[in-house]
Structure 1
Amino acid sequence: MRTWFLAALILGLAACAGPGHRDSAAPIAAIVSFDPARFAGDWHEVAAIGRAPGARWQVRSAPFSIATTRDGSGPARLVGPGRIEARAFDAPLWVLWVDDGYRSAVIGTPDGRFAMLLDRAAAMPADRMTAAREVLDWNGYDLAGLR
């Protein structure tokens, strides 16, 4: 009886840990200056944590929508600065960083389910990749899972 109780307790605690790939004690912040019109266009998912990278993204600003080759498509809406709800995703997306030219971006979920590095080109330049990794690290994501 004790073994069964101990096993149930361990499984229950593991379930509380959630699916996250980030330290929930670390602060996380979406960018306040996010501009959906500048974000619109085609993107490549060049790296990711918690999912396989490689999806192509197509973002439209009027009306705001997101379509990916992996997650499907549908309307999206801003629910706060840099915070997006999109029908194609079952979790809120937070834009954690975009470079000045809107050529590279980091998007993650607050629960740490996944994070994605997007770039307008099929490969992110080394300087922006370094910046993107620093943003993920600062927001508590486990960089060991970056693929």
Structure 2
Amino acid sequence: LPKAARVSHLKSIMCLSFYELVGASSRDVVYLALPLYHMAGSLLGVVGCLGIGATCVLKEKFSASQFWADCRAEGVTVFQYIGELCRYLVNQPQRPGERQHGLRLAVGSGLRPDVWRSFQQRFGPVRIVETYGMSEGNVTLFNYTG
């Protein structure tokens, strides 16, 4: 079961600017397959999309084999991940058209350096912004430089 975390109204309001901080805008389409009971999915994902007026593609569960087809079909430009999701994508068999997508930004946490390199080499020049924060914490760190 998910653990309960007390989240203030102020923190919720601050999450409205999450995607703006990482370079997204109202023109973006955000792919979100994270559970909404987790802060990354609900506050950063959904509330972050509301904050910039972006379209949010909510998936019931993540499918590595369907991911790129979903991105093309929905016009996805931003992908919010938890580190292992990128590893699942890199570990999929190669398919034609893997670089034919509009994804320009991936943002999340827990991405291993080797997977980061493999992801960009295989799928193209997607900008990756790695973040670190805690539900109960007051500070979030961003890696803007890679």
TM-score (norm 1): 0.29
Larger radius of gyration: 1
Q: Which has the higher helix share?
A: 2
TM-score (norm 2): 0.29
Q: Which has the higher strand share?
A: 1
